[in-house]
Amino acid sequence: MKKLLATLSIVFGLVSTPVSAAPSLIPTPPQLSASSYILMDAYTGDVLVSHNADEELPPASLTKLMTAYIIEYELARGNLSFSDQVSVSEKAWRMEGSRMFIREGTRVSLEDLMRGIIIQSGNDASVAAAEYVAGSESAFADLMNQHAQLLGMKNSHFVNATGFPAEGHYSSAHDLAKLSRATILQFPENYKMYAEKEFTYNNIKQPNRNKLLWRDKTVDGLKTGHTEEAGYCLAASAVRNGTRLITVVMGTKSDQARAAESQKLLDYGFRYYETRKLYSRGQVVNNAKVWGGSQSNVKVGFAEDVLVTIPRQQGDSLPATLDMMKEITAPIAVGDVLGKVIVGTEGNILLEQPVVALEAVEEGGFFKRMFDKIRLFFANLF
- Asked if 83 contacts 119 with a C-beta cutoff of 8 angstroms, the reply is no
Alpha carbon distance 256, 23 (integer Å):
37
* Nearest CA among 112, 103, 105, 102 for reference residue 81: 112
Residue 254 a catalytic site member = no
Side by side, the strands of the sheet bearing 320-324 are 2-3, 320-324, 337-345, 348-357, 297-301, 284-289
CA distance 304 to 75: 25
Q: Residue 366 phi/psi, 5° resolution?
A: -55, -50
3 is in an annotated binding site: no
The yes-or-no answer on residue 197 being catalytic is no
Query: Is 171 part of the annotated catalytic residue set?
Result: no
Angle between helices 64-76 and 173-186 (to 10 degrees): 30
- Check 98, 121, 172, 262 and give the catalytic one: 121
Q: Choose, from 61, 89, 126, 180, the residue flagged as catalytic.
A: 61
Count Cβ atoms within 10 A of the Cβ of residue 321 and give its class: 0-12 exposed, 13-18 middle, 19 or more buried: middle
Annotated binding site: 223
**Catalytic residue list:** 61, 64, 121
Annotated binding site for substrate: 223
